[in-house]
Structure 1
Amino acid sequence: TTGRATTLLERSGRWSSAGCDHRKPFFCYDDKLILIRENKTWEEALNYCRQTHHDLVTISNPHQQRWVQERAKNASTPFVWLGLQYGCAARLWLWVTDYVVCYERWASGGRTEACGMSAAMTTGGQHEWVSQRKNETFNFICIKH
C-alpha cells in the first residue's frame, strides 16, 4: 500500500487525505450513535435510550450533525426524534442534557415554540430540524455510553 488511506475532515468542512504516518486529532462520535427503528413518542424514546443505552442524541456542532444525519438516512419514518424539547417554564429550547442550544439546524418555518413540542430531524433532504408534537411516533437515535 502507499500509506495514504487516511481520510480527515478539514476546518473548511471538506474531506481530504493524508499520509498514514501523520498524527492528527480525531473523534469517534459515530461509534456512539444507534438508530432505533421503532416508532415511539418522544417521552418513550427518551426513556428507552436512558434505560438501554445512555440518552437521546444531542447535537452541538456541525460534525455531530453529519454523524446523526448519516444514521437518520436509514430510518423507517420521515423524522427521527432528537433529545431536544421546548421548555415551557424557561421559554426556550433545551437539550435533555440541560444544555442551551448553541448550534442550530432548524428548517425554515420548522420551529414552533409551544408546550408539548420536541425536535426531530428529517430523514431525507437537508436533514433539518423541525418541531413535532411529543405524542407523534417516530424512530429515534440514542447515544451510547
Structure 2
Amino acid sequence: MSINYRGSGLCGNKQTHLLSFNTVLSTGLFSKTSCYFILIQEPKTWSEAQTHCRQYHFDLATIQSDEDRFKIQEIATSMNFQNRAWMGFYDGVFAWRWSYQDKNLGYTNWDTLEDTTSRTQRMCGVIRNTGKWHAASCDEPKPFFCYDSFIGGKFIINLAKLSWSDAQRHCRSKNIDLSTINDIIENGIVTTILKLGLITEAWIGLSKNLWLWSDQSKVTWLSVNWADGQPDNADGNEKCGFVNETGLIGDEACSHTLPFFCTKYVKIQIVRFAVKSSGLLNESAVMEAIEKKMNQILGDQQVDIESNITWRVQPDGQIFQRQERDT
C-alpha cells in the first residue's frame, strides 16, 4: 500500500504559475477574481483621486448596484465615515451629438416645449411625423432610420422596434450608421417617409451622453441611485460624482478636495496537488518546501509584492487529506 496526501494552497497573484516537484503526482489550478472598494481618506481633487486609484489600484469606484451600495455602507460603518467621497462618475459630453462620426449639431428642429437638458439619464433623439424632434429614453423600442449612401438613399426606415443602442448596432453592421439630419430639406424627406408609412416616430442618430464611469463600465441608468435633490449642479460647474456613506450619489465641482473610493481587483489562484510518500508524511516539511518553491517562482516572474501564499484548511482542521490506494 502507498499513502497519498492531497492538499491545496491559495496563491493571490496576477499570473498563472504551476509547481513542479518530483513528489507531485497531479496538479490542478482554479482561478477567480474578486473586487472590493478601498476608502482613501486623504482629500484630493477628482482628477488627483483618479490618478491615485489608477496608479495604485484599478480605478475610481463604480457604484451602480445594491451590492455596490452595501459595500460602501459596510466600509463607512467600519471606519465611522460620515462624509462624501469621490467615486468614478463624471459628467461626459453634456451636449447632443450625431452618432455618425460623432458630429456636433449644425441644424436642429426640437419641439418648442421639449426639455433637452435633463442631467439624470441618457437621452436619445426621435423624429415624429410632425417633423419635430423629441428626447426619449434610449431604452424604449422604436423604429429607426439608417444612413447608407449606396443603397436606397440616405434614409432607410426599419420597422423593427429596437432600443437606440440596438438600432445603432444594426445600422452600423448593415449600412453605415443611424441617420443624420443636416438641414430643413433632409428633415422634410424623413417626415414624408414617416407619413407615407403611417409611422408616428422613429430613432435618428441623435444622443446625449451624460454621466460616464471612469473605468468605462456601461452606465446602467435604472441602477444609478441619486441622493435627494441630486444632481443639482449648484455652482453651475459640478461635473464630478461623489458618494455618501449610504451609497447614494451626487454631483460636486471637480476642483473640490474629498476622500475617495478606489476599486481593486485581486486574482486568486488555488493550486491543488497530490504527494506520494512511502511512509508518514512530514506535513510541515512539505509545506515549507512548497512555499519556498512558489516564492521562488513568484520572484522569478517579478510578481508584485502584494502576492502571497496561504494554506486552505479543510473542514477537519487539516491541510492534507490522507488517501489509501493499491500500489
Normalising by structure 2, we get a TM-score of 0.32
Q: Determine which of 82, 89, 94 is the counterpart of 1:84.
A: 89
Q: Determine which of 222, 235, 252 is the counterpart of 1:132.
A: 252
Q: Secondary structure at the match of 2:64?
A: coil
Structure 1 runs of 4+ aligned residues shifted over 3 Å read 112-116
Moved more, 131-140 or 105-114: 105-114
Q: CA offsets per residue over residues 13-59 of structure 1, 9 Å max, x none?
A: xxxxxxxxxxxxxx954xx2211110000000000000011110002
* Larger relative contact order (CA 8 Å, sep ≥ 6): 2
**Alignment partner of 1:40 is 2:158:** no
Q: Secondary structure at the match of 1:107?
A: coil
Q: Secondary structure at the match of 2:68?
A: helix
Q: Determine which of 94, 98, 103 is the counterpart of 2:212.
A: 94
Flag the structure with higher helix content: 2
Unmatched 5+ stretches in structure 2: 1-32, 95-207, 266-327
Q: Determine which of 111, 119, 131 is the counterpart of 2:231.
A: 111
Change (3 A) 1:76 1:108: closer
Change (3 A) 1:141 1:134: same
Q: Distance in 2 between matches of 1:72 and 1:110?
A: 20
Q: Distance in 2 between matches of 1:61 and 1:76?
A: 20
Give, as a single letter, the amino acid of the residue that structure 2 aligns with 1:83.
G
Q: Secondary structure at the match of 1:51?
A: helix
For 1:23, the equivalent position in structure 2 comes to none
Normalising by structure 1, we get a TM-score of 0.68
**Alignment partner of 1:55 is 2:174:** no
Structure number with larger C-alpha Rg: 2
Give, as a single letter, the amino acid of the residue that structure 2 aligns with 1:142.
C
Unmatched 5+ stretches in structure 1: 1-26
Give, as a single letter, the amino acid of the residue that structure 1 aligns with 2:261.
I
Tell me if the contact between 1:88 and 1:115 (Cα under 8 Å) persists in the aligned partners. Answer: no
Give the superposition deviation at 1:115: 5.4
Change (3 A) 1:143 1:82: same
Identity of matched residues, % = 30
Aligned length: 115
Change (3 A) 1:94 1:115: farther
Q: Secondary structure at the match of 1:142?
A: strand
Q: Secondary structure at the match of 1:94?
A: strand
Q: How does 1:9-24 map to 2 (within 5 A)?
A: none
